[in-house]
Amino acid sequence: MQLKDYQHTAIKKLLARSKELLAQSGEKKIIFKAPTGSGKTIMMAEFLKQMVDDSEIKTPLSFIWTAPRKLHTQSKEKLVRYFDTTRAIECSDFEELTDKQIGENEILFLNWESINKKDKNTIVKENEKEFYLGKIIENTKDEDREVVLVIDESHHHATSEISHSLITDIGPRLTIEVSATPVIQDPDEIVSVPLEDVKMEGMIKKSVLLNPNFKNVLSGDNVTSALADGTDMMVLEEALKKRTELVKAYQDAGINVNPLLLIQLPDRKTQQEDLIKDEIIRHLKDKHGMTTENGRLAIYLSEEKENLENISKNDQETEVLIFKQAIALGWDCPRAQILVLFRDWKSLTFSVQTVGRIMRMPEPDMGHYENEILNFGYVYTNLTNIEIKEDMARSYVTIYTSKRIDSYKPLELTSVYRLRHREKTRLSPLFIRLFLEEAKEYKLEEKIETKGQKLELTFISDYQAGGVDQLINAEIRGEAKIDTENETDLQKLYDFFVRNNLTPFYPEDRSIGRVKEAIYYFFKEQLKMDYGKYFAEIINIVLSEKNRQHFVNVIDKTKERYIAETQKREAKLQQLSDWEVPQQLNYGGDYVALKVGRSVMTPFYYDNRWKTEEAFIKFLEQSNQIEWWFKNGDRDSTFFAVPYMENGNQNPFYVDFIVKFKNGTIGLYDTKGGRTIKDAKEKSDGLQDYIGAQNKKGKKMVGGIVANTNSRDYSGRWVCYKGQSSDLVLDNFSNWETLEL
């Protein structure tokens, strides 16, 4: 598992805080708050591994991992796989414990239900064999080991009372609650993973859109939507229409993902839910030909399960899944992208957990896609009472949609953006070109032997030594030969060879394939041996004793060049020659509608963060010379940016406002106030250089850094700076031009 940057940061913080608390006296509590889709279990696995390996932690540790229902089993399976190579930590169920205790560096996995004292059949009940939880913990502590308790996914069932009871009964030295929405009160430390960081890495979708193309109104915590007037089947049709749109977008992009539409029924079981389920199934069959028989429909209910095998695979045929939240706890399907909730829910408090099933990206290693429609999740519902309380949900769930005005004419502006490079951790097609160049320089074709080469593998069989002393300086050779005529075995050996030589790149399938492809190209171009025809012969040549090291040498030299090349590329900005104002922008609950008349986006939504921007918008609204204005954003290629230099590096400068004048001139203005003016020097130079260069090419452009001479209430003059950065002085507007619009 190649950890993301934010995961490394979180693990480092979690370890540092844990060590600090373990060094203190008494029982301590940490909240590890991480969004759905951020990889909480993997982060915890690496954290626990580093914890037991840390030489500064002197006390031996034993662990208890608790989770609701069967989620502890899924967590155990993930951790077993993670620790498979290092064996750093032993993972055990209750029945697998030895000596009636939790061993050092051992995790006992439990579900909450099994430790509920009200249930007489649980593992907490005392028995004659003294094999019950209380005694296990007592024995563990008697061996001078500290107990660390992990409470996983507490938001599903664990109230703060249950968490408190767990902590009281177990008496852990350290408790770590792992959740997107934690319930533990008064923790000693909180370690958080920012939602924005998870989005930036492309692990989860940019946001989830609530009833797109239907007017939504947020009042306090409550959302009312125009779709609330629609029937259940109307809501379903809107969702199916969006799915068809997504299917085409994936196909056009050449991405092998079949987007899944989820229909979520409430957990309660009444005749009404059965009637709704039957109506859905009938509608899907009659109108769209989707049935469980043809595999296009799947059902995941306690009393009925159909077509669930391999449903999580990106290219699986199922298009719609009917399920309940309770059954789906811990269930992940990254291709799920649309969620439908009908009116029978009565009311719903929207949280990140509600939309958690459609947050993940189907190919997290690829990150976000070029076509923006694929980077969002979609929720369709005719609920009349939708509540959004949680801060994270307010920023992640998109309630509002703003669209570009119909009278907009193309600008075709040159814009720049920073490309998020993933080449640092995996190999791109660039590797193939560099490999062929390095092979030529190394004279690989001349150094290898191609005639009669055969891979010979042996293994040690039935070796015996009279004693340990006889092993000193002894050379043990394998004598039993392995048959490598089988092409499947050859392929596995070849994959192992490539995987072994990929460091520091993560040996994911795409990177392994890239190295193999480079070698195949070498044989095809230099030796006229086509992979399809000479597959076994090529692998025997590469892996033979006489040639193997030559290929290792070329792979190593190529990796060095590849790293150097990608570092150079990362410093460069990408350029767009035809940037346009986005056709549509989406906003969450932190935004409010501002009543304006000249915005190119309508309705216009704003987050009220910057008073200077708000005051400048009022100034723009008063002008008769302006056709429209656009409040720019500050991310990727969606928004407009000009290049500027700072500390020897080229960076994108996202100017605050783009203004289209009635005479065809385009204005680029960035608002500054107070002390922020002095931070704009390099950006100001970049903006003026850009305007000058574009005007030479025939564009009509004006602009600069703008400020109000009275930054307290913006009652002064609006002025614009167009000079050299060296002459830009704080609180001195003598060399600024009055901005008359």
Contact 351, 378 (CB under 8 A): no
In this prediction, residue 91 carries a pLDDT of 93
Beta strand 106-111 with 413-417: parallel, antiparallel or unpaired? Answer: unpaired
In this prediction, residue 167 carries a pLDDT of 81
Banded model confidence at residue 570, pLDDT cuts 50, 70, 90: low
- pLDDT by residue (tens digit) across 455-495? 665 444 444 545 545 444 555 444 444 455 667 777 888 88
In this prediction, residue 183 carries a pLDDT of 79
In this prediction, residue 346 carries a pLDDT of 62
Mean local confidence (pLDDT), 154-175: 74
Look up residue 99 and give its two tokens. Answer: 């000596």
Q: Alpha-carbon distance 194 to 509, whole Å?
A: 29
Q: Is the pLDDT of residue 74 over 90?
A: no
Q: Alpha-carbon distance 622 to 625, whole Å?
A: 9
Q: Is the pLDDT of residue 345 over 80?
A: no
In this prediction, residue 272 carries a pLDDT of 77
- Per-residue HEC secondary structure of 523-553 comes to HHHHHCCCHHHHHHHHHHHHHCCCCHHHHHH
Phi-psi sector, 258: left (phi>0), alpha (psi -120 to 50), beta:
beta
Mean local confidence (pLDDT), 553-565: 90
Q: Is the pLDDT of residue 22 over 60?
A: yes
In this prediction, residue 460 carries a pLDDT of 41
> Dihedral sign, CA of 207, 211, 214, 219?
negative
Q: Is the pLDDT of residue 88 over 60?
A: yes
- pLDDT by residue (tens digit) across 215-225? 776 666 677 77
In this prediction, residue 435 carries a pLDDT of 94
Task: Report which of 265, 260, 296 is spatially closest to residue 278, judged by C-alpha positions.
Answer: 265
- Per-residue HEC secondary structure of 112-147 comes to HHHHCCCCCCCCCCCCCCCCCHHHHHHHHHHCCCEE
Mean local confidence (pLDDT), 360-368: 86
Question: When comparing pLDDT for 160 and 431, which is higher?
Answer: 431
Mean local confidence (pLDDT), 600-607: 93
* Whole-Å CA distances, 528 to 80, 350, 448, 533: 46, 61, 15, 11
Q: Decide: helix, strand or coil at residue 614.
A: helix
**Burial class for 280, CB neighbours closer than 10 Å (0-12, 13-18, 19+):** buried
Mean local confidence (pLDDT), 3-9: 86
Question: When comparing pLDDT for 350 and 689, which is higher?
Answer: 689
- pLDDT by residue (tens digit) across 385-439? 777 766 666 677 888 889 999 999 999 999 998 876 554 556 777 889 999 999 9
Q: Alpha-carbon distance 318 to 334, whole Å?
A: 13
Mean local confidence (pLDDT), 208-213: 86
425, 429, 435, 441 alpha-carbon torsion, rounded to 10°: -120
Task: Report which of 200, 109, 100, 176 is spatially closest to residue 143, judged by C-alpha positions.
Answer: 100
Look up residue 8 and give its two tokens. Answer: 């490394």
Phi-psi sector, 464: left (phi>0), alpha (psi -120 to 50), beta:
beta
Strand partners, 178: 32, 152
State the first-to-last Cα distance of the chain, in angstroms, to the nearest integer.
Answer: 56
Task: Show the domains of the chain with their CATH numbers.
Answer: 5-198 (3.40.50.300), 202-404 (3.40.50), 430-571 (no CATH), 576-738 (no CATH)
The one-letter amino acid at 177: E
| Least confident stretch, 266-275, 489-498, 690-699 | 266-275
Banded model confidence at residue 330, pLDDT cuts 50, 70, 90: low
Q: Alpha-carbon distance 5 to 75, whole Å?
A: 22
- pLDDT by residue (tens digit) across 656-670? 999 999 999 999 999
DSSP string, 220-256: TTEEEEGGGGS-HHHHHHHHHHHHHHHHHHHHHTT--
The one-letter amino acid at 276: I
Counting other chains too, the contacts that 92-99 makes at CB distance below 8 Å and 24 or more residues apart are: 94/123, 94/133, 94/136, 97/136, 99/139
Mean local confidence (pLDDT), 14-35: 94
**363 Cβ contact partners less than 8 Å away, ≥ 6 residues apart:** 255, 257, 314, 334
Question: Across all residues in the chain, what is the average pLDDT?
Answer: 85
Q: Decide: helix, strand or coil at residue 298.
A: strand
**Between the ranges 16-30, 155-169, 488-502, where is the mean pLDDT highest?**
16-30
Contact 31, 191 (CB under 8 A): yes
Mean local confidence (pLDDT), 637-642: 93
Task: Report which of 624, 650, 431 is spatially closest to residue 520, judged by C-alpha positions.
Answer: 431
Mean local confidence (pLDDT), 136-165: 81
Contact 716, 708 (CB under 8 A): yes
Strand partners, 190: 31
* Whole-Å CA distances, 406 to 71, 600, 601, 736: 50, 9, 10, 36
In this prediction, residue 365 carries a pLDDT of 75
In this prediction, residue 332 carries a pLDDT of 75
